[in-house]
Structure 1
C-alpha cells in the first residue's frame, strides 16, 4: 500500500507540474511553408469594388507576396520565444502559457485571454508595459504579473480529443492555472473569445478573483440581442448611443457567416490545414473594420496592425496546424456572445469605437452591477491589445488602480 501511495503522489506531481517550453520549428517545416505559399492558386477577381464579397484578390496577392518575399520567417521562432513560456496539464489537456513576472514588489497577477483568430501573439505588445511600467513611462505601483494562456486547440496548447472544452470549462482551467502558479489573488482580462472566458471566470468567481476587465462586454440586453440577430428594425425607444450600438450589432450578425460555419461544421474546413494562403485569407476576414485595417496595412498604409503582426499570427496557426482545432470552440460554445452572463464581481469595461459594437454605459451598468470602470476610448477596434496596445494598457492601469 505504501508503494501504491507513493506512485499516486508521483503521478499527481507529474500531472500538475509546470514545465518550461520553448517553440522549435524544423527547417523542413519552414521550407514546406515557403513551397506552399509559392504554389498558391488564386481565384479570379471579385465582381465588386469593395469588401462585400470578402477579402479582395488584390489584398490576397499583396499578403502572399509579402509572406513569400519580405516576411522574416527564419526569425519567427525567436519572436515567439521572446518571453518565458510553460506548459502544464489541466483536466488531461496540456495548457501552454506565457508567464512574465514583474520586478516590482506589489505587482498584481492578471490572466489575459486571446480570441479567434488570435493567439498569445495578440497580447505580446502589452507584456512589457504591464510588467515594467516605469520603462514605458508609467508608475511602479501600476505593475502586473502577466499570464497569457493559449486556449485549448490554439497555438501550443493541446487539442481536445473529447467534447466539453467550452468557455466555462476554459474559465475553470484558468482559475486552476492561477492557483497552480501560486497566486492567491488575481485579475482577468479578455476580448473576443477571451471576453466570454473572462465573463465566465467572473461568473465562477473563484477565491482570489479581484475583478475582471473586458473590451468586448457581454452587455447587450437579451431582447435587443435577439432582435439584432433577426435583423429586426431597431426599437424606437433607443437613445442615439444605443441605436448606434444596435446597428453595429445587427450589421455584425449579417456578416459573420464564418462563425456560423465553424459552429456547425468545423471539421469540414480541411482547406485551412492544406493551404497557408487559404488559412490566412480565412483568418483576416474576421469583421469588416478589422479586414479594412489589415488590407490597408498590406497596401502600405500601416497604422496599428502591421503585415508582420498579421503574418506572425497566421504563421503560428499554420505551423501548429490549429486551423480546424481552433474552429471547434465555436461548435463547443453554448453561450450568447454579447448578452449578460450574470457577473457579480468587480468589472471594468473599455468601449472601443470599432469593436463589433461599442457598448453604451447604461448597458454596461445593467449587465455588470459591480461596474468599477467604464470608458469610451477614442480609437481602436476588435483586437485592442494588438492594434492599440498603449490605450489598452492605460485602461488596465486606470481600471484596476482602485483594487490594489
Structure 2
C-alpha cells in the first residue's frame, strides 16, 4: 500500500468459490421448535431455501463483473487499507459526493443509485444534479478489511474520509450515509465543516430513543410515546448489537467458519426480522447474498463486527454537538428517527418521511433516495459553506 490510490479489481480464485460450495453442502442444521416461525430468530425453512439458492442459483461471477464495471481503488490512510469506488460523472461541473454504507452492507448496496446520481442526463434527469461518487468500504469491512489495530470508530473513520477526499483533490463536497454511515456522515461535517456543503442521511442511527434521561423530558408527548415504543421494539431486536459491541472476537469465530451462520447473523436486518409480516420493500435475494458472499470471501465478518465495539466509548461520551452544516434526514418505511432527537446532534434543515422502501433505502427504494439526495443538494451546490440555501429547508 502507498499514499497514492492504486487501482483495484475483484478477482476471487475459483478454489475459494469451491470451498464455499463445499461448506454449504456440509451445513449442520439445528433443530427448530414446531410452529416457531420467526419468533425465536431466523426461520430454518426460509433460510434453507435461501442457502439452496446460494448453492445452486446465485452467480457470484456475474456480481463480481458488475462490481468491476466501476472504477475501484485502494489506498493506505492512517495505517489502514481503505478500498473505495470512485465514479466520475461525465458532467464536468458535478459535485463530489462521498457516500458511506453501514452494517451488514458493502458498497454493492449502491449499484442501483450510482448511475442516476453520477449521470442523471442518461437516466432522464437534469445534468445539473450530477455527482462525482466516492464510496469507501468502511475500515474492517470487505475489501478495506481487516482492521489492523484498535480505535477505528466513528471519528477516526470520518478523519480518514476527510483525508481521502483531500488526496483525491476535492476541496468542497457533499456527504451522504445510511445506518452506520448516517453517524459517520455528520461526523465528517464536524471534522471538516469548512469543506462539507451539506449532509444527507437515511436510516439515521441513535435518534430513535433518548441517550440520557433528560432527553426524554425534552420531547413532546407524542414523540415521548414514540421514543418509548422504539425502546421496546429495539429491546427485542438488538441482540446482535449487544454481542458485537461487547464481545466481537467471540462471535468472529462462528462468522468466519460457517457461511450459513454468517448469512443467518446478517439476515435479520435484511428481512426486517419476519419477511412474512413486514411492510418494507423486500430486499432482492441476490443483493443479500452478494453482501454476505463479499464478507465471506474477504474473511471480514468478524472485523466488521468490531466497529460496534469501537464506537462504545464515543457513545458513552454523549451526543456530539451539531456541526452547523445543513443536514437532511430521509426517514423511509421502518426507520424510526425522531426529529427533536436528531436535532440535538445535527443542524436539521430538511426532514422527509416516506411510506415505502425500508432501512436499506439504496436497495429498497433507490428512486426515492436518489430524488431526495438530488433535491436537497440542488440548493446547496453554490451556497456558502455551513449555510442553508433557499429551498434546502423544511
In the superposition, the TM-score normalised over structure 1's length comes to 0.86
Which residue matches 2:389? none
SS of the residue corresponding to residue 290 of structure 1 reads coil
Partner of 2:387: none
Does the Cα contact within 8 Å between 2:178 and 2:203 map onto a contact in 1?
yes
> Pick from 292, 309, 319: which aligns with 2:297?
319
C-alpha distance 40-22 of structure 1, shift in aligned 2 (>3 A)? same
Change in Cα spacing, 1:237 to 1:366, as seen in structure 2 (3 Å) is closer
1:218/1:340 contact within 8 Å kept: no
Matched, 1:383 2:369: no
Which of 338, 342, 345 lines up with 2:325 in the alignment? 345
**Cα drift, residue 402 of structure 1:** 0.8
Confirm or deny: 8 A CA contact 2:162 2:192 kept in the other structure. no
Residue deviations 1:7-29 (CA, integer Å, cap 9, x gap): xxxxxxx7321100001111101
- For residue 249 of structure 1, report the CA deviation from its aligned partner: 3.7
Call closer, same or farther: CA 1:236–1:254 in 2, change over 3 Å: farther
- How far, CA to CA, are the matches of 1:364 and 1:66 in structure 2? 40
Q: Which residue is equivalent to 1:217? A: 204
CA contact (8 A) 2:140 2:304 kept: yes
> Within the alignment, does 1:80 sit opposite 2:60 as a pair?
no
Q: 2:240 aligns with which of 240, 255, 258?
A: 258
Deviation at 1:98, TM superposition (A): 0.5
Q: Is residue 131 from structure 1 mapped to residue 118 from structure 2 by the alignment?
A: yes
Is structure 2 residue 83 aligned with structure 1 residue 96? Answer: yes
The answer to whether the aligner puts 1:275 opposite 2:267 as a matched pair is: no
SS at match of 1:16: coil
Are 2:89 and 1:110 equivalent residues in the alignment? Answer: no
Instruction: List, as ranges, runs of 4+ consecutive aligned residues in structure 1 with deviation greater than 6 Å.
Output: 234-237
- Decide whether the 8 Å contact of 1:228 with 1:250 is kept in 2: no
Q: Secondary structure at the match of 2:142?
A: coil
Given the alignment of the two structures, is residue 207 of structure 1 paired with residue 194 of structure 2, yes or no?
A: yes
1:52 to 11, 17, 39: 39
Judge conservation of contact 2:179–2:205 (CA < 8 Å) in 1: no
Structure-1 separation of matches of 2:182 and 2:280 = 27
> Would you say the 8 A contact 2:205–2:337 is kept in 1?
no
Structure 2 counterpart SS, 1:316: helix
- Residue ranges of structure 1 left out of the alignment (5+ in a row): 1-13
* Cα separation, partners in 2 of 1:50 and 1:226, compared to 1, 3 Å: farther
CA 354–98 in structure 1, closer or farther in 2 if over 3 Å, else same: same
**Distance change (3 Å), C-alpha of 1:238 and 1:173:** same
Aligned residues: 378
Q: What is the RMSD computed on CA atoms of the aligned residues? A: 2.7
Q: Which residue of 2 aligns with 1:284?
A: 267
Structure 2 CA distance for partners of 1:342 and 1:48, relative to 1, 3 Å: farther
